[in-house]
């Protein structure tokens, strides 16, 4: 059974085609070996869009890669272009489009519909209710899903919401200290995100550690970052709250911030509430701290050259990670492993070293020689460390594909 996993942006469509036949639950399921094709369409809606496809094994038995430019006015055309390439008689890997069992979406916020669902009117309505909380994510997903339902009525669409993995967090850790009716009537609570990534890390860490009862902290660090405390495979605490804007600073989003500072900002800048929120969501985080650099690689380079703003940005970022790390250690009561994942977590030895610095008293000992230049899966702890420190590349598409199959079976 084939699942096309889609990751949408307002002007982009990225996908992987995965073969989910056979036993995909076993420890040796080999997710990477099941990717038949991957691709992306960028600048959707512009006069010329950038299209890329990589077919692992085409009909001719070879790997095929192509980059093209063409007008792609909407996500429906992007999906059609994807299916056309995948069914190409020579360079594709499918005979016909109906070999795809479903399109699985790494959807963000469904509010009351926290889980994995075949997309219907109720799912779309629930997503729309949360558009104000996820304005950069929900509207493009809703628009694309509606369009795809019209163009491909026989092809099931599945929404795997990022909040689902955090449904196991206790009310004490997900309820804000606000009037109770706000929580009950408006669903104002700490939902948590990056669920597919943290779920994959929970599963992979259990395999690496050889135990199902492990207590780990998953550090998904990238353009968007969050930490999750995981006990026996279940989320018990996470850094993101009502929206993906909160928690540790993001590349251009503010992270945790005192809401009562907003009226003062409005007064002194003459900006509207909408303008201030837009600034916090697009000019905050690492970009705001560093003076315009949103990419951590640029910030690390500038900091090494003595740039004070870059040094501060790096320090604020890592100290916020450490603050949440400490709280999660208390919540877990015992810590078996810290796992770094995501673009930054997998590739930045600078951030990993800063996060683990001075934690020897807690049984967390980083081996600098292992950390230096570590890329891909591996361990970073010393032989005497009581806590393992791991780098595990995440695979969100694999989780979405598995959840999509379960949703189809349930239906």
On whether 343 is known to bind a ligand per the annotation, the reply is yes
Check whether 295 is labelled as a binding-site residue: yes
For the record, the structure tokens of 132 come out as 């104000």
The Cα–Cα gap between 305 and 331 comes to 39
Q: Which two tokens stand for residue 57?
A: 């094994």
Q: Alpha-carbon distance 152 to 76, whole Å?
A: 9
The answer to whether 346 is annotated as binding is yes
- What's the helix, strand, coil split of the chain in %, to 5? 40, 20, 40
345 labelled binding-site residue: yes
Q: What are the two backbone dihedrals, phi and then psi, of residue 384, each rounded to the nearest 5 degrees?
A: -90, -5
In degrees, to the nearest 5, what angle opens at C-alpha 218 toward C-alphas 238 and 29? 125
The two three-digit tokens of residue 199, written as one number:
């779920």
Question: Is residue 347 marked as binding?
Answer: yes
Secondary structure of residue 53 in the 3-state scheme: strand
User: Cα–Cα distance between 50 and 55 in angstroms, integer?
Assistant: 17
CA distances from 392 to 9, 338, 375 (A): 25, 10, 9
Instruction: Answer yes or no: is 396 a known binding residue.
Output: yes
**Phi/psi class of residue 381: alpha, beta or left (left: φ > 0; alpha: ψ in -120 to 50)?**
beta
Tell me the C-alpha distance between 207 and 157, whole Å. 31
**Residue 7 annotated as binding?**
yes
- Cite the annotated binding site for ATP by residue number: 14, 295-297, 343-347
Q: Which residues are annotated as a binding site for Mg(2+)?
A: 7, 396
Binding-site residues from annotation: 7, 14, 295-297, 343-347, 396
């Amino acid at each position: 059974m084939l699942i096309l996993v889609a990751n949408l942006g307002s002007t982009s469509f990225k996908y992987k085609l995965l073969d989910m036949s056979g036993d995909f639950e076993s420890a040796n399921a080999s997710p990477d070996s099941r990717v038949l094709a991957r691709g992306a369409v960028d600048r959707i809606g512009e006069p010329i869009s950038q299209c890329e496809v990589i077919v692992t094994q085409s009909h001719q038995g070879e790997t095929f890669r192509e980059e093209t430019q063409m007008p792609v006015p909407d996500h429906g055309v992007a999906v059609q272009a994807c299916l056309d390439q995948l069914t190409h008689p020579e360079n594709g890997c499918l005979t016909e489009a109906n070999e795809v069992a479903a399109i699985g979406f790494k959807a963000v916020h469904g509010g009351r519909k926290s889980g994995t669902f075949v997309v219907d009117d109720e799912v779309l309505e629930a997503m729309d209710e949360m558009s104000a909380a996820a304005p950069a994510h929900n509207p493009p997903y809703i628009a694309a899903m509606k369009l795809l339902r019209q163009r491909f009525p026989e092809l099931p669409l599945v929404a795997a919401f990022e909040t689902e993995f955090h449904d196991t967090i206790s009310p004490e850790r997900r309820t804000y200290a606000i009037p109770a009716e706000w929580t009950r009537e408006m669903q104002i609570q700490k939902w948590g995100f990056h669920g597919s990534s943290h779920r994959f890390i929970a599963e992979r860490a259990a395999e690496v550690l050889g135990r199902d009862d492990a207590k780990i902290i998953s550090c998904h660090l990238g353009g968007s970052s969050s930490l999750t405390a995981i006990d026996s495979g279940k989320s018990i605490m996470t850094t993101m709250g009502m929206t993906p804007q909160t928690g540790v600073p993001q590349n251009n989003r503010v992270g945790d911030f005192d809401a009562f500072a907003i009226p003062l900002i409005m007064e002194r800048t003459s900006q509207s509430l909408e303008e201030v929120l837009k600034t916090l969501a697009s000019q905050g985080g690492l970009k705001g701290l560093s003076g315009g650099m949103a990419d951590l690689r640029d910030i690390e380079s500038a900091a090494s050259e003595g740039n004070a703003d870059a040094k501060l940005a790096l320090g604020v970022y890592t100290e916020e990670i450490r603050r949440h790390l400490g709280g999660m250690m208390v919540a877990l009561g015992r810590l078996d492993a810290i796992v770094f994942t995501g673009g930054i977590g997998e590739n930045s030895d600078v951030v990993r070293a800063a996060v683990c610095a001075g934690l020897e008293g807690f049984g967390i000992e980083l081996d600098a020689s292992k950390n230096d230049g570590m890329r891909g899966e591996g361990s970073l702890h010393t032989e005497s460390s009581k806590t393992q420190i791991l780098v595990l590349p995440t695979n969100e598409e694999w989780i979405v594909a598995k959840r999509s199959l379960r949703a189809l079976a349930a239906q």
